[in-house]
Amino acid sequence: MWPRPGDSRDLALLSRRQSARPPSELGRAPEHPSVPFPLLPSSRREPRPHSEARPNSQLRGANNEFRRFSQHRSMSSLEASLAQLSLGAAPEANFPNTSANASFHSERLGQIEDSCAPDFAHPLLLGVLALPSRTLHYRPKTAPLGRFSPGPSAPKFENPIVSPQVCPIAYAPKTAVARPRALVETQYLVAPGLAPNFYYNLVSWSAPKKAFAIGIGEAVYWWDGTGDIDRLGMVASDSISCVACHGNIVAVASCDGALSFSGVGRRLRRRFGSAIHCVRFLPLPNFLLAGTAAGEVFCLCLRERVEIISRLDGLCQQVCEIAVNADGTRAAIGGNENLVLIWDISDLSSPALLHRLEHTSAVKGLSFCPWAPSLLVSGAGSNDRHIRFWHSSSGSLLRQFFTGGQISSIHWSRSRKELVATFGFSPNGRLVGVYSYPKMNLLAEFVPGESVRALSASMAPDETQIAVVTNDGTVRMYSLWDKRKHGIVGGPGVMGSAIIEAVEGIGVGALLR
């Protein structure tokens, strides 16, 4: 009988017994009437005489190569090996060091279960090479951990070295991703006359009033989401294209190019050559950036009148969004011509263009990270659908994430390592999504039952709510984060690059809690 598990006899012993046979017997093919012996034309060679066999010292390299035989060997490599074998010759011609080969099979394939026939080498060769007669069967203690596993119709774990039916499996099981929670729509305001324009920005929160301003038609209204709607005592000369709040100041722009201000002690007004689509106030008091439909960006100062300090040229089409970092030294301008321009505005009288960031669609989602001033996020439109993270100082792309939707706004959380994005359209109908940073796991979302698009949005100063203007003439409010404060320090991993973090001075000891 063949040696069974636990038997003192092993394959090496059987190989030594076999090698003691005369060379004339080893040169004859074993009798297997039920097994058709394959012929390999053009690769068949005459057997080497037993007397000319090379010593084991000269075969050391070849044996080492055989010992490195892996069960993940590709089929093309196996076919090449088959073409080089002489199956009609004596076993010594192909496997001179029989004891070493037997030890290899004992270690790699487990114990052999069969009768101890005198013709041992040929059945073993047939089993290893997956020829029609399979006499080699083994049962490993555990499943193989390689890149391939037996196919659905192949016997489980039966000779996977040369099994033609293989299918790829993962090295490790994927961790389950938690299902995103559903955002709650807290308020719903029907606003007839609300312009359904993707390039307009018609809603803005005011911290002192604890309400947001919304431009409807030619008037501006205040709404805190609970009480009555109050009208601002200012009437625009044309349909409103932009509303922006900063402290007690409210900026209102209209389609005829007029830009008006209230809350500065008196009414200020200035007219430009084209409509103002975007206004962003700077950390410096009474300074702001205004972008027009013609691609012009003006740096303005509110004094006795509205003064133009400088211009930031570089775009020819609509300015979609303007973002300013926390210390007021960098400005990012997103345009309809698939570009983001990063400017150094540390000197407002002479701003300097630093970088041009290419996208494949209009960029309306744009925001600097409040706890990492050089980290910029951008979100592009329908032909792009990516959220990208940039190092604004060097212009390096840190990472990008495909959302599948048209991004209309992006807002960072000041107290969490998260951000919220709104979508003009999305394959699954998602209107609002909350993501973690940097892994971009979807934590929360709102998917309305009807088909609506988010055109613009503004987040409350306390981050508890976000107001979204949609294309069906409504303003919807959604709950975001609670009021609990989380201490955030920009630690290692924030930028995703050790070199950039070293340049930014992010220490190894800094942690993100």
**pLDDT in the model for residue 295:** 96
Which residue ranges in the chain fall short of pLDDT 50?
1-48, 50-70, 73, 88, 107-118, 125, 131, 133-138, 141, 143-172, 508-513
Grouping H, G, I as helix, E, B as strand and the rest as coil, residue 461 is coil
**pLDDT in the model for residue 260:** 95
**Opening angle at CA 212, ends 419 and 420, nearest 5:** 10
**pLDDT in the model for residue 506:** 56
- Indicate the helix (H) or strand (E) that contains 101: helix 98-109
Where would I find the H helices in 241-361?
A: none
**pLDDT in the model for residue 307:** 95
* Cα 457 to Cα 85, 364, 475, distances in angstroms: 72, 11, 9
Instruction: Extract long-range pairs of 447-455: CB within 8 Å, 24+ residues apart.
Output: 447/182, 448/185, 453/406, 453/408, 453/423, 453/424, 453/425, 454/408, 454/409, 454/422, 454/423, 454/424, 455/196, 455/197, 455/198, 455/200, 455/202, 455/408, 455/424
Grouping H, G, I as helix, E, B as strand and the rest as coil, residue 60 is helix
Contact between residue 65 and residue 77 where contact means Cβ atoms under 8 Å apart: no
Grouping H, G, I as helix, E, B as strand and the rest as coil, residue 223 is strand
In a 10 Å sphere around its CB, with 0-12 CB exposed, 13-18 middle and 19+ buried, how is residue 397 labelled?
A: middle
Where would I find the H helices in 402-457?
A: none
In a 10 Å sphere around its CB, with 0-12 CB exposed, 13-18 middle and 19+ buried, how is residue 492 labelled?
A: middle
Domains and CATH numbers, the chain: 1-30+68-154 (no CATH), 182-504 (2.130.10.10)
Pairing of strands 474-479, 185-190: antiparallel
> What's the CA gap between 75 and 154, in Å, rounded?
16
**Closest of 341, 282, 283 to residue 314, by C-alpha:** 341
* Paired residues of 401 in beta bridges: 387
**Closest of 340, 321, 343, 320 to residue 331, by C-alpha:** 343
**Closest of 393, 409, 399 to residue 343, by C-alpha:** 393
> What's the CA gap between 387 and 401, in Å, rounded?
5
> What's the CA gap between 241 and 147, in Å, rounded?
58
* Mean pLDDT (the chain, rounded): 75
pTM given for the model: 0.64
**pLDDT in the model for residue 78:** 54
Contact between residue 385 and residue 406 where contact means Cβ atoms under 8 Å apart: yes
Question: pLDDT digit string (tens) for 323-376?
Answer: 999 999 999 999 999 999 999 999 999 999 999 999 999 999 999 999 888 999
**pLDDT in the model for residue 308:** 96
